[in-house]
Amino acid sequence: MFSYLRERFTSRLRERSRRRARLVSKDGRCNIEFGNVEQSRFVFLIDIWTTILDLRWRYKMTIFISAFLGSWFLFGLLWYVVAYIHKDLPEFNPSINHTPCVENINGLTSAFLFSLETQVTIGYGFRCVTEQCATAIFLLIFQSILGVIINSFMCGAILAKISRSKNRAKTITFSKNAVISKRGGKLCLLIRVANLRKSLLIGSHIYGKLLRTTITPEGETIILDQVNIEFVVDAGNENLFFISPLTIYHIIDKNSPFFHMAAETLLQQDFELVVFLDGTVEATSATCQVRTSYIPEEVLWGYRFAPIVSKTKEGKYRVDFQNFSKTVAVETPHCAFCLYNEKEAKAKEKKGYDNPGFVLSEVNETSDTKM
């Protein structure tokens, strides 16, 4: 029992170590780190809008709350300074005929409350600016303008974050595994993709990149060498009618990087297949991209996907997502080279062969029958 658990634990660690080195995760996130960047990180402040949009929600909400609280407190200090300089505070014992710059500011707390009321335009009517101080009028105008800018920027950033097309991409899902089997008499690599919403992606386009380590004839080692992988469906790879799950496939021919791979050597390969789906969101006309990746352990040789679409008695089409990633074993050649050799052999058998050593000789037939 102990040896079995140890073997399972070792195999799990070995599997995790193999799957750790991947550029794109299954949900489309890129696993890459930039080091020794010469430019300062302050360059991200130049494009502050994109920086804010790319932040996680917890950081965005922290900035949102800090921006408002910070501006309220800062202007509260300024209003307190104005009241202090003009000697409007009770500690200065102003006379009865004294007209303060701001009515009813008695300390730092009341100055903070007046700053809050001014910036968010609450207007309780208890504290108000008088015409006694030009500085107070200028500060009121400046805070009102700055408050509108902060409100517009922060609310716009949150609205853009909520309506970002990246969220629409989360309703597009790929199958957990890719499969290799025969389709239309050809050896193909197949992947299933589904749209979880009834709204379409307009102008959808599917393509792939094979990432692998290659060595050039000059001896240069390229870690992430990219090779184009063409994926098609029966109706083409552009302007897909993406209302139901589709099975996209890549034909493994002599121009395919999978041509020299076999079922026995697939797990020994070092590659990562990244699949992209680009489209335009029908509701917002914003473009989005969905991506996922497959490593050799996630490519099943000799399998096909189980049926997923059926028709009910009421005449409706039903999609059973329980079978979305389910695969079925089928008879498949163990390599593309063998499949094409088999086709050539069958074609020659149909045509027949000429034997150059065959000589036709005539035989005189004699009859030994006597009457």
Domains of the chain, first to last: 48-163 (1.10.287.70), 168-348 (2.60.40.1400)
For residue 133, is pLDDT > 80? yes
Across the chain, mean pLDDT equals 81
For residue 219, is pLDDT > 50? yes
pTM to 2 decimals? Answer: 0.68
d(CA 97, CA 182): 97
**Mean pLDDT across the stretch 77-86?**
93
**pLDDT recorded at residue 315:** 79
Phi, psi of 191 (to 5 degrees): -135, 140
d(CA 160, CA 231): 32
Measured CA angle at 70 (ends 68, 160), to 5 deg: 35
**Mean pLDDT across the stretch 102-119?**
92
**pLDDT recorded at residue 183:** 87
Neighbours of 226 (CB within 10 A): 12
d(CA 121, CA 358): 107
The string of pLDDT tens digits covering residues 244-289 is: 788 888 999 888 889 888 888 888 888 899 999 888 887 777 788 8
**pLDDT recorded at residue 363:** 52
